[in-house]
Amino acid sequence: MRLIAWHRLALPLVLGLLVPLAGCGAGAGSEERQRSAPGFPQVVDNCGQRTEVEAPPRRVVSLNQGSTEILLALGLADRIAGTAMWTDPLPEDLAAANEGVPRLADDRPSYESVLAAEPDLVTASFESTLGTGGVATREQFAELGVPSYLSPADCVKDNSGSGDGRRNEPLTMELIYDEVRDLARLFGVEDRGERLVAELRGRMDRATRELAAPDTSVAYWFANSESPYIAGCCGAPGIITRELGAENAFDDTRAEWPQINWEVVAERDPDALVLGDLTRDSQTAESARAKIEFLESHPVTRNMTAVREKRYVTLSGQAMNPTIRTVTGAEKVAAKLREFRLSE
């Protein structure tokens, strides 16, 4: 209720601030920008909605780290007015570009702080962030003339229940490449988008070339030691597993990150464990080090094959989510399977 009341009171002021800046704003400033940006307005079909900008956005707020990393990789750091919800340090090739980007919050930012950044576009990786129960809905931003964009990888997921949703169809890298292309188009840098997609495709091809591990099972643990979040069949870990020709130990569940008790994990006894190495501090066993300490001391897990053989692969949280870093995840898991001699 507090946000709704603030929204009503602040609406005239915020509209006055945002309309000259927003991609769908009017006035002389907007007309000048249109004249200097051939090919605009641009429209992309996004999760059943139209995302339209009249000129390349100048003050985008990216509500999730994965979305921010795409913008950085497209060379758009100077257009980012704010970012939030981070789990990991940036890779070296993006860290310098991000130094001047304002961090609205390490976790979920308030609606007020997003509006204070005067965005002309809002992007997010997850419906739980840009939707009911999140920072705000797309409709709320639209009321202020601010277009929004949600990752297609999350749109094809059933988010109607509790938890992290359910996938009825396996996720593919093509949807992540579509996100790169969409954002590049909205900013008028399509050539950069195509170069980035080509680079990611090439890296995935090189990582998986002449690699197959049909008899190797892998389990992915994101976080939480009491009731661990273990990857189901069809999200980003599913992409990695399929690309490597291996098996997901929990390929029989379509939940994105179901919470599975350790007795079941031990019973399935995967050949290797992929561990999220997170720097946030919102649940137990966030870092890979904490996960390994738990696995090697817990009476249920310490006798698992992967634990006895120390077959651990550590990945950033972003590599285990549907992001451009999923390619990095495939590279690292592929290298470790070869090192462990679990691949053909």
Q: Which of 13-22, 156-165, 317-326 has the highest mean pLDDT?
A: 317-326
Number of compact structural domains in the chain: 2
Query: Do 149 and 217 sit in the same domain of this protein?
Result: no
pLDDT for 344 equals 77
Strand arrangement of the beta sheet that strand 217-221 belongs to = 247-248, 217-221, 272-276, 312-315
Range of the domain at 44: 2-200
Query: Do 166 and 256 sit in the same domain of this protein?
Result: no
Query: Do 228 and 194 sit in the same domain of this protein?
Result: no
Which positions ≥6 away from 152 have C-beta within 8 Å? 46, 47, 175, 178, 179, 182
pTM of the model: 0.88
End position of a domain, from candidates 200, 219, 253: 200
Q: pLDDT tens, 123-154? A: 999 999 999 999 999 999 999 999 999 999 99
Give the rounded percent of residues in the chain with a pLDDT score beyond 70.
90
CATH number of the domain that 275 lies in?
3.40.50.1980
Query: Do 29 and 79 sit in the same domain of this protein?
Result: yes
CA distance 229 to 323: 18
Q: What is the 3-state secondary structure (H, E, C) of 125-156?
A: CCCCCCCCCCCCCHHHHHHCCCCEEECHHHHC
Query: Do 137 and 190 sit in the same domain of this protein?
Result: yes
**280 pLDDT tier (thresholds 50, 70, 90):** confident
| Dihedral angle computed from the Cα positions of residues 164, 165, 167 and 173, in that order, rounded to the nearest 10 degrees | -40
CA distance 28 to 287: 51
Query: Do 182 and 140 sit in the same domain of this protein?
Result: yes
Contact 80, 101 (CB under 8 A): yes
Query: Do 130 and 252 sit in the same domain of this protein?
Result: no
